[in-house]
Structure 1
Amino acid sequence: MNEELVVRLNDKEYANWLKAGQCLYILKDALHPYTDEQMRVFHRALLRDNPRLGEQCPRSCQSGDVKLSRACGLCLQWKSEILRHHRQPGSTLNWDNCTPPAWRTNHWELAKAYMPRGQAHINAAHQCDPSALLNLINFCDLFASVGVHSSHVRELIRCRNDLMHSPDLRVKEAWMKKFKVVLRRFVQLFSQVPSMAQVEPKLAQMLAVDLSICAMDAVDYHGMALAADSLDCHIHLRPESIGQWEADLLQERLRELRHLAEDETVDTEQLLMLDGFLQENKDLGQRFSAELQAISTLGTGQKKS
């Protein structure tokens, strides 16, 4: 049993942070089959409507060529299509996510143009973090055409950003109440999606579970079944699985901080607070010391001693 994990999970607001983050990963797991299939359909439709898009790039264009509009005519045509289907084409697009010559054959290379930065090495929907899929749904107008209202998506993205930008990795009960409402609205948008059918009861159980008890021993947690057919959903929780949720969330946070540090826009106060948290929790500090060192070097030039 990890005693440091037990201490952390007895902090109610930290447990809230962890449970809310895991809710986003539950959503992500349900969304990735749907987003993958929708992007396949979208990609086929673009090629059907404009067969020239299926031709091979003659110059092996790079993302920087597309960004500066100096790519070949074919890749610039793909760029034009991507912008035409972007709900906010005036915003900054992360072309560095993409390998432009692959747009003609790989639907997920197309999807990555609508995502936050850092997706260059992601090759499939199931490899994405929640933010990537939420931003894809928000920005690609394909999802507007199937009835997804972006206001509810943006509400959930704001909650995700609140969660991941929490300087002390804690959220209060009042925030959790708002988060539950936003989650419910988001899930209702996808009521006709088969992979989302069991999400609401899973989310309800995750939000209700007492992680401090689960950390002490292996626990079978039976939550209330909320699905219309009253199926009994079941969560099996062990300390090692809770620890993995924690690691996934921290890895996502560190990845985001690294991108900010590369742009020289990292919030030094947040970086130092995360540094302090990892130093206080030596099990996590040992696991993530290399990542934090790299970010600190980029962001401040010198790691806090």
Structure 2
Amino acid sequence: MVLEELKARLNNKEYTNWLKAGQCLIVLKNGLHPFTDRHMKAFHGDLLNQYSPLRKACETSSCSSRGNKLSSSCRVCTEWKKVILKHHRQPDTTVNWDNCVPPLWRTDHWELAKAYMPRGLAKVKAANQCDASALLNLINYCKCFQSVNLNPVREVIRCRNELMHSCEFRMKDNWMRRYETSLKQLVEQFDRVPEMATAEQKIDEILTADLSIHVSGLDHMDGIESDSVSQWETNADLVTQWEAELLQEMLREFLHVADDDDDDDDAKTQHTEQLRSLGGFLQANNDLSERFATELQAINSLRARD
């Protein structure tokens, strides 16, 4: 039954486009983790060398942020804020200070990095805990990534947002071609980064994979060799893992925003609708509703509160 439901989903080309695009983002983030971590560590060290006031500890150890503002800030943390904005490509846009623990800016380069990222990352402590959106936004907004062509970065961010907010979980072929072009232009810039070279190879394999071939033998499994059945089961497990990773990321994002008291009503309504669509999709597929039973309970709990 599980394989039949998976086969039905993969028979839809636009669904496989959605699935492949999401898996490419997961591969991309794994390649970007070490690159962004190294850059931010070097950037953090340079700031400490260039600006002597930043070498002092927070004067209160309790400076904090609320929403998009530093609700309390000593002289040292105020200096950090000035330097962060100085190295921000768009300092007049919203800076998500609530991602950060200001007293840690002096000692933790990733607390610094989170000032350049989307909201909701306060609990993230390292590069390898970030998704592709967080890392791409970091590259886009922080001036320390001067050598990167930002056009494909911004295009991949835009495609990622369209992908994650697709209520139908389907992407058309022309969208996929645009996404593939920008993704390749992005990764080609990092040909000297070993982790990104590996990511580029994996992305090529994903984009060229014919998922329908993996399931074509399902209707004839009674008469095929056990090795072939084993191969199909392996492929099915892999595709199921792709689904789970992408859906889990969507659930995390939507549940966080829908449960965020600081969000404005329009944004919360939009994300609640997207969460409702995601819940409906999971419930319509028994294999997914069983796998994400806990998350579905959370979605239903949010509905009851509306």
Same fold, TM-score > 0.5, yes or no: yes
Q: Helix, strand or coil: the match of 2:72? A: coil
In 2 relative to 1, CA 209–90 (structure 1 residues): closer, same or farther, beyond 3 Å?
same
Paired residue for 1:117, among 119, 125, 128? 119
Deviation at 1:6, TM superposition (A): 2.7
- Give deviations 1:171-208, integer Å, cap 9, x for gaps: 11111111111111111222332322233332221111
**1:231 aligned partner:** none
Q: Relative contact order, CA 8 A, sep 6+: which one is greater?
A: 2
Report if the CA contact (8 A) 1:21-1:163 is conserved.
yes
**Residue 244, structure 1, aligned to residue 244, structure 2:** no
TM-score relative to the length of structure 1: 0.85
**1:84 aligned partner:** 86
Q: Which amino acid aligns with 2:39?
A: Q
Q: Which amino acid aligns with 2:254?
A: L
In 2 relative to 1, CA 83–139 (structure 1 residues): closer, same or farther, beyond 3 Å?
same
Query: 49-58 or 34-43, which moves further after superposition?
Result: 49-58
**1:281 aligned partner:** 285
Deviation at 1:213, TM superposition (A): 3.5
TM-score relative to the length of structure 2: 0.85
Deviation at 1:94, TM superposition (A): 1.2
Paired with 1:14 and 1:171, the residues of 2 have a C-alpha distance of 7
Q: Which amino acid aligns with 1:256?
A: E
Paired with 2:63 and 2:160, the residues of 1 have a C-alpha distance of 34
Unmatched 5+ stretches in structure 1: 221-236
Unmatched 5+ stretches in structure 2: 219-228
**1:154 aligned partner:** 154
Deviation at 1:292, TM superposition (A): 4.3
Report if the CA contact (8 A) 1:61-1:100 is conserved.
yes
**Residue 50, structure 1, aligned to residue 73, structure 2:** no
Q: Which has the higher helix share?
A: 2
Kindly report the root-mean-square deviation, in angstroms, between the aligned alpha carbons of the 2 structures: 2.4
**1:130 aligned partner:** 132
Paired with 1:137 and 1:239, the residues of 2 have a C-alpha distance of 35
Q: Helix, strand or coil: the match of 1:63? A: strand
**1:9 aligned partner:** 10
Q: Report matched runs for 1:190-205 at 5 Å.
A: 190-205=190-205
Deviation at 1:218, TM superposition (A): 5.3
Deviation at 1:24, TM superposition (A): 1.1
Identical aligned residues as a percent: 54
In 2 relative to 1, CA 54–244 (structure 1 residues): closer, same or farther, beyond 3 Å?
farther
**Residue 26, structure 1, aligned to residue 17, structure 2:** no
Query: 174-183 or 239-248, which moves further after superposition?
Result: 239-248
**1:227 aligned partner:** none
Paired with 1:300 and 1:88, the residues of 2 have a C-alpha distance of 39
- Give deviations 1:48-93, integer Å, cap 9, x for gaps: 1113212221222122398245311111111111111111111111
